[in-house]
Amino acid sequence: MSLSPPVADLVAAVQRADSALGLLQATQALAASAHPDGAACLVEVLGFNNPGAAVAAVDGLVAIGEPAVATILANIDGNNYGARAWAVRALAGIGDVRGLAVLEDALGQDIGPSVRRAAARGLGQLRLAGLPADERGPIAARCLAALLAGCGDGEWVVRYAVVVGLEALAPELRGDPDGTGAILSALERLSRDDPDGASVVCLRAALALSRLDPGAALEATDG
């Protein structure tokens, strides 16, 4: 595929980079263009052993947004854990529903707490507004199921992200009393007692509860 001249030059600079700093700077320049033609190169950078460049590549893919999703999904490398972890972060930041299965799998099974944390946030903020009503409900239900399971994650940073995800997802479930009830119940439990005694999780759950249901938050505080 031929690239537009400005993007071709930026991609060539990434490919020519012969040092960690050079790769970082070239990736930052390509990411700043936010041009869809740069997505394939940015995805390739995710597999390099250069965390700084990977962060820049993720930022660039998120800036490109939906046009980058197909490229990310087509190039997820199951044999390269680092590349997959960065891809999860990119999909979480973009919020496209095509990344749902990857985010579900990451929250439920990834070995890295930071990856599970990104997946939890991503599941709470998928962009469902443009979907037909008959598709939004089932997708929101899948997000809810994954987040509820994540309430029992062994790392407090992941549980904190799950709380954030549940609060963000709640508006999508306003017409579903069972779904809304499940969110409020989960937040109430976490506001009262975090498995590891992490007060920051309890406080964040109480804040979410106060925003979604002030009455329930008051009861949790009084209890």
**pLDDT tens-digit profile of 30-85?**
999 999 999 999 999 999 989 999 999 999 999 999 999 999 999 988 788 999 99
Q: How confident is the model at residue 218 (pLDDT cuts 50, 70, 90)?
A: very low
Residues 78 and 175 grouped into a single domain = no
pLDDT digits (tens, 9 = 90+) for 176-204: 999 999 999 999 999 997 677 679 999 99
Q: In terms of residue numbers, what domain contains 184?
A: 120-223
Evaluate whether residue 180 is within a structural domain.
yes
Residues 128 and 52 grouped into a single domain = no
pLDDT at 149: 97
Helix/strand/coil (H/E/C) assignment for every residue in 30-50: HHHHCCHHHHHHHHHHCCCCC
Residues 88 and 4 grouped into a single domain = yes
Residues 89 and 124 grouped into a single domain = no
Residues 87 and 40 grouped into a single domain = yes
Between 77 and 112, the higher pLDDT residue? 112
Cα angle value 51/55/57 (rounded, 5°): 110
Domain count, the chain: 2
In angstroms, the CA 91 to CA 200 distance is 26
Evaluate whether residue 204 is within a structural domain.
yes
In angstroms, the CA 170 to CA 164 distance is 10
Residues 130 and 79 grouped into a single domain = no
Residue recorded with tokens 């938050």: 217
Q: How confident is the model at residue 1 (pLDDT cuts 50, 70, 90)?
A: low
Residues 85 and 125 grouped into a single domain = no
Domain boundary among 60, 94, 128: 94
Domain boundary among 51, 76, 94: 94
pLDDT at 216: 54
pLDDT at 174: 87
User: For the whole model, what pTM was predicted?
Assistant: 0.90
Tell me the three state secondary structure of residue 216: helix
pLDDT at 183: 97
Closest CA to 163 of 176, 177, 153, 175: 153
Residues 89 and 160 grouped into a single domain = no
Q: How is 137-154 classified by DSSP, letter by letter?
A: HHHHHHHHHHHHHHTT-S
pLDDT at 2: 67
Evaluate whether residue 169 is within a structural domain.
yes
Residues 128 and 221 grouped into a single domain = yes
Residues 221 and 127 grouped into a single domain = yes
Evaluate whether residue 66 is within a structural domain.
yes
**% residues pLDDT > 70 (the chain):** 93
Residues 2 and 76 grouped into a single domain = yes
Q: Report, as an integer, the average pLDDT of 143-158.
A: 96
Judge whether 103 and 123 are in contact, CB under 8 Å: yes
Evaluate whether residue 105 is within a structural domain.
no
